[in-house]
Copies of this chain bind each other. A is one copy, B any other.
Amino acid sequence: MRILIIGAAGMIGVKLTARLIADGALAGKPIEALDIVDVVSPTVPPGAPFKIERRAIDLTVPGNADVVIASRPDVIFHLAAIVSGEAEADFDKGYRVNLDGTRYLFDAIRKVGGYLPRVVFTSSIAVFGAPFPPAIADDFFETPLTSYGTQKAIGELLLADYSRRGVMDGIGIRLPTICVRPGKPNKAASGFFSGIIREPLAGQEAVLPVEESVRHWFASPRSAIGFLVQAAALDTAKLGARRNLNMPGVSATVGEEISALRRIAGEAVAARIRRQPDATIARIVAGWPANFDTQRALALGFRADASFEDIVRAHIGDELGGTWVH
Q: CA–CA, A140 to B140, complex, Å?
A: 5
**Copies per complex of this chain:** 2
B150, B157, B164: the one contacting A142 at CB < 8 Å is B157
Known contacts: A138-B141, A143-B242, A241-B143. The answer to whether A160 contacts B164 by CB under 8 A is no
1/0 per position for A146-159, CB-CB distance to B under 8 A? Answer: 01001001100110
Known contacts: A129-B241, A241-B129. The answer to whether A161 contacts B141 by CB under 8 A is no
Known contacts: A153-B157, A154-B157. The answer to whether A140 contacts B141 by CB under 8 A is yes
The reply on A139 being an interface residue by CB < 8 A is yes
1/0 per position for A16-42, CB-CB distance to B under 8 A? Answer: 000000000000000000000000000
Q: How far is the CB of A91 from chain B (nearest CB, A)?
A: 7
Please state if B141 and A142 are interface contacts (CB–CB under 8 Å).
yes
Known contacts: A129-B241, A150-B161, A161-B150. The answer to whether A141 contacts B139 by CB under 8 A is yes
Q: CA–CA, A212 to B124, complex, Å?
A: 43
The reply on A221 being an interface residue by CB < 8 A is no
Q: How far is the CB of A99 from chain B (nearest CB, A)?
A: 9
The reply on A165 being an interface residue by CB < 8 A is yes
9 new A-B pairs (CB below 8 Å) besides A147-B161, A150-B160? Answer: A129-B241, A138-B141, A142-B142, A142-B157, A144-B160, A144-B161, A147-B165, A150-B158, A153-B157
